Chains A and B, each alone.
Chain A
Amino acid sequence: DQQVKQNSPSLSVQEGRISILNCDYTNSMFDYFLWYKKYPAEGPTFLISISSIKDKNEDGRFTVFLNKSAKHLSLHIVPSQPGDSAVYFCAARISARQLTFGSGTQLTVLP
């Protein structure tokens, strides 16, 4: 049973528009959430994170929103750029324990 779910395997967005990637979780004990970005033939790289005590965290073009009542988080990329095309993984953890990853969403930003 997947505790972290990314239900959209792929997403295509026009350059300059907003990309919204979604992630749902089932375990209410998760207290920290992270987004990773992965290019082909490379390892994932950390992008942005949010603590469960917050509902929003922003870093440049990237914003993560957390809705604890819905057990849902989303990553917004504004404006989207072709270089943002990659697989995005959301991940969650309980206290200082290991991360649980979602299955990933392939984002394609069209020029």
Chain B
Amino acid sequence: IAGITQAPTSQILAAGRRMTLRCTQDMRHNAMYWYRQDLGLGLRLIHYSNTAGTTGKGEVPDGYSVSRANTDDFPLTLASAVPSQTSVYFCASSELGGKNEQFFGPGTRLTVL
């Protein structure tokens, strides 16, 4: 089934631990994105990648890092998790340019204690 998969579905994490959220797409889209969704704040862009090998910072990049070794995968890493990173994380992908319609994964619910 074409689309975006994210893993894990949910995770409870102790503060200070390292965590990598996984994202894989099979639509061969050039661009990929990571957002966090918080109540009252909507979707905020953390990092993005316009093509394999390149990444960029979004609105709220601090405390997060990404890599884009190939077209399909775009992992998000929290090097040392803090409680303020408790959120729902969505990965998305799109073609570059055009209408920029983004396709979203099902999300990862992360709780940092």
Residues of A within 8 A of B (CB): 6, 9, 32, 34, 36, 41-46, 49, 89, 91, 93, 96, 98-104
Contacts and interface: CB of A to CB of B under 8 A. Distances in A.
Contacts of A32: 99-100
A100 B101 CA distance: 12
How many of chain B's residues touch chain A, expressed as a range? 20 to 34
Contact of B40 (A9, A41, A49, A89): A9
Contacts of A103: 40-42
A46 B103 contact: yes
B96 interface: yes
B15 interface: no
Given A98-B33, A98-B58, A44 B97 contact: no
A19 B58 CA distance: 32
Nearest to B44: A101
